[in-house]
Each structure stands twice: as structure tokens, then as C-alpha cells.
């Protein structure tokens, strides 16, 4: 498994079965074949897993690479390893102008700020709808509020649950590649308000890191080819769907 470099390879195995060791051994073998380390990229899902991957790669190279393959140990320091999100964010920082960022590199909008923006959007929407509050703005939102008590429903006040409903909706919509215009009513308005605010503050959220990188590659084929040439070997230790 570590030595066949002629085609893509997928290994499906349970926890503790040696997937990461196999990936690290494959990296060591690729380096032994004269492939420059900067042409290899290793990805995983969480920060903890990315740090562990770096340590494991280093160990395999030191223990096996030098002993069995004889390549320069300094090669390891040119390896690109990280999470999907961190690698995508680094790509966005380099090519952000192609996505309409006019004020330099984008900043990351944290969870607290996201909640503030969504709550502000809900306040604006409520004012636009007049009396009756947000509980009457959409059938889907009425259903989402079904778990609230009757007193809380009748107040028409924006609650933490209201904010969470829309925050989760926006995250799902972005993960599915949906734009605000593909929805209606309060969902379309709040999603668009949120996006406009991010753009105004030159910000992106966590979901944008992957979504916007995919968009960049689709809309800018020359940039896609640049990274295809740069990273000939892409190894994924762990992913989530």
C-alpha cells in the first residue's frame, strides 16, 4: 500500500488499525523516490490530529527514512501538513482578491460575533415585519420554536434558541453550497444580511474556509492548476462528511 504511487488509493479501516502509520510510511517512501517534500501535502480534520500527524511523520522519517531510504532528514521540514480548514485559509489569504476581498487578508469571524450579527439581522427583520414578532415570520421557524414554552413564544422577543436556529441554518446552507437567493422569507433575508456584514468587515466564518476555496478553484482554473502542480501527492489521514 505504501509503494504503489501509480493511482489514487483509499484505505477504509477502524480506529487503531494503523491508518496513520501507513500514511506516514507512504510519505517516507515517496520522499525516498526523489520526490521533493514541498510536493507532498498531508491533511486531516482536527488540530489535534494535525499535530499528531506531524509528530508521526517526523518519527517515521527519523526511524525509517534515514535508516532504510537514506534521504536528508531536513526534507521533513518542507512537508505541508495541517487541517482542511487551516490549509484552505492559507490559500484564501494568498488569493483573496479573486473573491472580492478588497481590504487585504480576510479575518475569521468567531462564534460570538456570528451570534451578534444574526441577532442584529433578526432585529431588523422583526422591525420590517411589524407587530407580531419573529414567531410569525415563517412556517419553518414556527416549527423550530416548537420546543419553547408558551410564555416565551408569546413575548416575541429574540431568544438564544432563535439565534441558534438561524446560525445552524446558515452553516448547513453554506456546507451544501447554497446561496441566500435560493431560499425565501426570513431565511433568505437573514442569510443575505449575514453575508453582507461579513463582506463589509472583510471577514469569513469557519465554513467559508473550505467553501470559498472550492469556489476559488472553480472560478479560477489557473490557480487550481498552480496547486495541482505544487502538490503532486495529496494524503488525507482523516475526514468527516
157 pLDDT band (50/70/90 cuts)? confident
Mean pLDDT of the 114-126 span: 93
Rounded CA-CA distance 107/112 in Å is 14
Mean pLDDT of the 31-56 span: 84
* Confidence (pLDDT) at 113: 95
Mean pLDDT of the 96-117 span: 89
* Confidence (pLDDT) at 155: 46
* Confidence (pLDDT) at 171: 94
Does residue 39 register a pLDDT over 50? Answer: yes
List domains and CATH numbers for the chain.
Answer: 19-97+220-236 (3.40.50.300), 110-200 (no CATH)
DSSP calls for 99-122: GT--SSSPEE--HHHHHHHHHHHH
Does residue 152 register a pLDDT over 50? Answer: no
* Confidence (pLDDT) at 56: 81
Does residue 58 register a pLDDT over 80? Answer: no
* Confidence (pLDDT) at 49: 82
* Confidence (pLDDT) at 141: 44
Burial of 107: CB neighbours in 10 Å, binned 0-12, 13-18, 19+: middle
Q: Between 49 and 89, name the one with better pLDDT.
A: 89
Q: What is the DSSP letter of 231?
A: -
Bridge partners for 41 per DSSP: 80, 234
50 pLDDT band (50/70/90 cuts)? confident
pTM of the prediction? 0.76
Q: What is the mean pLDDT of the chain?
A: 81
Rounded CA-CA distance 5/25 in Å is 13
Q: How far is CA 91 from CA 82, 139, 210, in A?
A: 12, 40, 10
Residue-wise pLDDT for 174-195, tens only, equals: 989 899 999 999 999 999 999 9
* Confidence (pLDDT) at 70: 56
Rounded CA-CA distance 27/39 in Å is 11
Does residue 167 register a pLDDT over 90? Answer: yes
* Confidence (pLDDT) at 213: 95
Amino acid at each position: 500500500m505504501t509503494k504503489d504511487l501509480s493511482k489514487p488509493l483509499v484505505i477504509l479501516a477502524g480506529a487503531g488499525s494503523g491508518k496513520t502509520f501507513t500514511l506516514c510510511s507512504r510519505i517516507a517512501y515517496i520522499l525516498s523516490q526523489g520526490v521533493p517534500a514541498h510536493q507532498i501535502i498531508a491533511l486531516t480534520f482536527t488540530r489535534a490530529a494535525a499535530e499528531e500527524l506531524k509528530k508521526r511523520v517526523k518519527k517515521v522519517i527519523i526511524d525509517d527514512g534515514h535508516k532504510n531510504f537514506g534521504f536528508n532528514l531536513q526534507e521533513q521540514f518542507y512537508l505541508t501538513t495541517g487541517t482542511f480548514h487551516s490549509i484552505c485559509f492559507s490559500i484564501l489569504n494568498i488569493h483573496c482578491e479573486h473573491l472580492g476581498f478588497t481590504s487585504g487578508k480576510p479575518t475569521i469571524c468567531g462564534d460570538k460575533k456570528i451570534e451578534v450579527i444574526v441577532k442584529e439581522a433578526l432585529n431588523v427583520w422583526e422591525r420590517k415585519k411589524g407587530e407580531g414578532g419573529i414567531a410569525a415570520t415563517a412556517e419553518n421557524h414556527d416549527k423550530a420554536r416548537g420546543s419553547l414554552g408558551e410564555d416565551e413564544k408569546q413575548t416575541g422577543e429574540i431568544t438564544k434558541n432563535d439565534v441558534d436556529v438561524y446560525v445552524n441554518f446558515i452553516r448547513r446552507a453554506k456546507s451544501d453550497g447554497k446561496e441566500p437567493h435560493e431560499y425565501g422569507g426570513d431565511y433568505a433575508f437573514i442569510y443575505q444580511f449575514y453575508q453582507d456584514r461579513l463582506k463589509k468587515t472583510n471577514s469569513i466564518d469557519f465554513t467559508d474556509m473550505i467553501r470559498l476555496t472550492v469556489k476559488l478553484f472553480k472560478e479560477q482554473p489557473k490557480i487550481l492548476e498552480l496547486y495541482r502542480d505544487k502538490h503532486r501527492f495529496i494524503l488525507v489521514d482523516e475526514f468527516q462528511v
